[in-house]
Amino acid sequence: MAKAAEVLGERWTILILREFLLGTTRYSELQRGLSRISPTLLTRRLRQLQDQGLIVRRAGGRNGHSEYRLTPAGRDLREAVLSLGKWGMRWARGQMEDDELDVQLLMLDFMRRIDADALPDGTTVVQFSFPGLPRFAHWWIVVDSRGRRELCATNPGRDVDLRIRSDLRTLVEVWAGDVSMRAARADGRVEVSGDPVLARTLSSWLRSGLLSGVRPAGEARRR
């Protein structure tokens, strides 16, 4: 246990491993998923994970960019990382201050969690607006007919099929499973406009977070 803590106890290490376990492979993707880590520290942590045998770096991946891959030792940490996430959802979720809410990570995970099979044929473009944010107040998720998806912080120049407008904390609560999308829309905290079919089926294809089913200790789920 002491040796494992030595390997995994550095700040950001567990979160970097989380990104790899969720399918991230490129440096730029890590930066988006971990927007608060400096490039210098991210590079240092990646080098440490390579030295510890948890990841390997391969040149010439997609579009000629280098990619990182988990080794068997890294993949074997899946249950440990998930267990830590479950503990946090049970015992620490109520401690999130407004300045700790990360819109970039939220939008990245919503993009990952979209059920492309539940979307209509063709390309679907969803715009998210957070009027209260001074930066990164608008986001676009583009999902094509093959299920490939792209997250954009600038307008991709495509027709928008559905617009979702909310404050950041409300959508974090939807992502965490603390409030349903239906309830957030009913009380006006989430406003949806655009394609009526996409709007009606929103809860079926814009899925909440992977650990949203884990409830806070001693608290009944709010509807």
CATH 3.40.47.10 fits 98-205, yes or no: no
Q: How far is CA 75 from CA 84, 146, 157, 177, 213, in A?
A: 15, 27, 38, 27, 23
Residue carrying structure tokens 């015992």: 91
pLDDT of the chain, 223 residues: tens digit per residue: 999 999 999 999 999 999 999 999 999 999 999 999 999 999 999 999 999 999 999 986 566 678 999 999 999 999 999 999 999 999 998 888 999 999 999 999 999 999 999 999 999 999 999 999 999 999 999 999 999 999 999 999 999 999 999 999 999 999 999 999 999 999 999 999 999 999 999 999 999 999 999 999 877 444 4
Domain spans, the chain: 2-76, 98-205
CA 176/CA 179 separation, integer angstroms: 8
What topology does CATH give the domain 2-76? Arc Repressor Mutant, subunit A (1.10.10)
| Overall size of the chain counted in residues | 223
Residue 134, classed as helix, strand or coil, is coil
User: Residues 90, 126: contact at Cβ < 8 Å?
Assistant: no
pTM listed for this prediction: 0.90
Quickly list DSSP for 177-196: TSS-HHHHHHTTSEEEEE-H
